[in-house]
Amino acid sequence: MPYDRQNPFLATLIDRRVLNHPQSTKATYHLSLNIAQSGIRYLPGDSVAILPSNPPSLVERTLRALGVSAGEEVLHPKSREAIPLGDLLSQHINLMRLPRLVSAL
Protein backbone atom coordinates (compact mmCIF):
# COMPACT_ATOMS: atom_id res chain seq x y z
CA MET A 1 0.00 0.00 0.00
CA PRO A 2 1.52 3.37 -0.95
CA TYR A 3 1.79 5.89 1.83
CA ASP A 4 1.35 9.62 1.25
CA ARG A 5 -0.08 12.74 2.95
CA GLN A 6 -3.65 11.39 2.69
CA ASN A 7 -2.58 7.91 3.81
CA PRO A 8 0.43 8.36 6.13
CA PHE A 9 2.24 5.52 7.87
CA LEU A 10 2.06 6.20 11.61
CA ALA A 11 5.62 5.47 12.71
CA THR A 12 6.79 5.39 16.30
CA LEU A 13 9.59 7.74 17.31
CA ILE A 14 12.44 5.60 18.68
CA ASP A 15 15.11 8.24 19.31
CA ARG A 16 15.56 12.01 18.99
CA ARG A 17 18.96 13.69 19.32
CA VAL A 18 19.87 17.35 18.88
CA LEU A 19 22.72 17.73 16.38
CA ASN A 20 23.51 21.39 17.10
CA HIS A 21 25.87 22.91 19.64
CA PRO A 22 24.00 23.85 22.86
CA GLN A 23 24.51 27.59 22.18
CA SER A 24 23.20 27.33 18.60
CA THR A 25 20.25 29.53 17.65
CA LYS A 26 18.64 26.71 15.65
CA ALA A 27 17.71 23.12 16.36
CA THR A 28 18.47 20.26 13.98
CA TYR A 29 17.45 16.79 15.09
CA HIS A 30 18.45 13.25 14.20
CA LEU A 31 15.23 11.20 14.38
CA SER A 32 14.98 7.42 14.40
CA LEU A 33 11.57 6.07 13.37
CA ASN A 34 10.24 2.52 13.55
CA ILE A 35 9.04 1.71 10.02
CA ALA A 36 9.57 -2.06 10.32
CA GLN A 37 5.91 -2.98 9.63
CA SER A 38 5.44 -0.47 6.78
CA GLY A 39 7.17 -2.16 3.86
CA ILE A 40 8.88 1.18 3.22
CA ARG A 41 12.50 1.04 2.07
CA TYR A 42 14.35 4.11 3.27
CA LEU A 43 17.75 4.78 1.70
CA PRO A 44 20.30 7.49 2.54
CA GLY A 45 19.25 10.71 0.84
CA ASP A 46 15.52 9.90 0.93
CA SER A 47 13.27 12.36 2.72
CA VAL A 48 10.46 11.86 5.18
CA ALA A 49 7.57 14.14 6.13
CA ILE A 50 6.84 14.54 9.81
CA LEU A 51 3.14 15.21 10.36
CA PRO A 52 2.73 15.58 14.13
CA SER A 53 -0.64 15.70 15.83
CA ASN A 54 -1.88 16.50 19.31
CA PRO A 55 -3.66 13.85 21.39
CA PRO A 56 -7.46 14.00 20.83
CA SER A 57 -8.04 14.27 24.60
CA LEU A 58 -5.85 17.41 24.75
CA VAL A 59 -7.67 18.94 21.77
CA GLU A 60 -11.04 18.25 23.46
CA ARG A 61 -9.87 19.76 26.76
CA THR A 62 -8.58 22.83 24.92
CA LEU A 63 -11.89 23.28 23.07
CA ARG A 64 -13.82 22.94 26.34
CA ALA A 65 -11.53 25.44 28.09
CA LEU A 66 -12.07 27.92 25.24
CA GLY A 67 -15.83 27.25 25.16
CA VAL A 68 -15.86 26.71 21.39
CA SER A 69 -16.76 23.88 19.01
CA ALA A 70 -14.35 21.85 16.87
CA GLY A 71 -16.35 22.74 13.76
CA GLU A 72 -15.97 26.50 14.16
CA GLU A 73 -14.12 27.95 11.15
CA VAL A 74 -10.90 29.86 11.87
CA LEU A 75 -8.08 31.21 9.73
CA HIS A 76 -4.89 29.17 9.64
CA PRO A 77 -2.19 31.55 10.99
CA LYS A 78 0.22 30.91 8.09
CA SER A 79 -1.89 30.02 5.05
CA ARG A 80 -4.82 32.30 6.00
CA GLU A 81 -7.18 29.53 4.78
CA ALA A 82 -10.41 28.88 6.70
CA ILE A 83 -10.28 25.50 8.45
CA PRO A 84 -12.21 23.90 11.33
CA LEU A 85 -10.76 24.83 14.73
CA GLY A 86 -10.56 21.14 15.70
CA ASP A 87 -8.29 20.46 12.70
CA LEU A 88 -6.13 23.49 13.52
CA LEU A 89 -5.67 22.36 17.12
CA SER A 90 -5.06 18.71 16.31
CA GLN A 91 -2.76 19.03 13.28
CA HIS A 92 -1.35 22.55 12.97
CA ILE A 93 -0.75 23.96 16.46
CA ASN A 94 1.63 22.56 19.07
CA LEU A 95 -0.43 22.25 22.26
CA MET A 96 2.26 20.32 24.09
CA ARG A 97 4.74 23.15 24.58
CA LEU A 98 4.51 26.92 24.88
CA PRO A 99 6.42 28.85 22.23
CA ARG A 100 9.21 31.19 23.32
CA LEU A 101 7.23 34.19 22.08
CA VAL A 102 3.45 34.25 22.33
CA SER A 103 1.59 36.83 20.28
CA ALA A 104 -2.08 37.76 20.38
CA LEU A 105 -4.15 36.25 17.57
* pLDDT tens for each residue of 71-100: 999 999 888 999 999 999 999 988 887 666
Q: Is this structure's pTM higher than 0.95? A: no
Q: What is the pLDDT of residue 56?
A: 94
Q: What is the pLDDT of residue 71?
A: 96
| Nearest Cα to Cα of residue 77 among 68, 69, 88, 90 | 88
Q: Can you tell me the distance from the alpha carbon of 49 to that of 41, in angstroms, rounded to the nearest whole number?
A: 15
Q: What is the pLDDT of residue 99?
A: 62
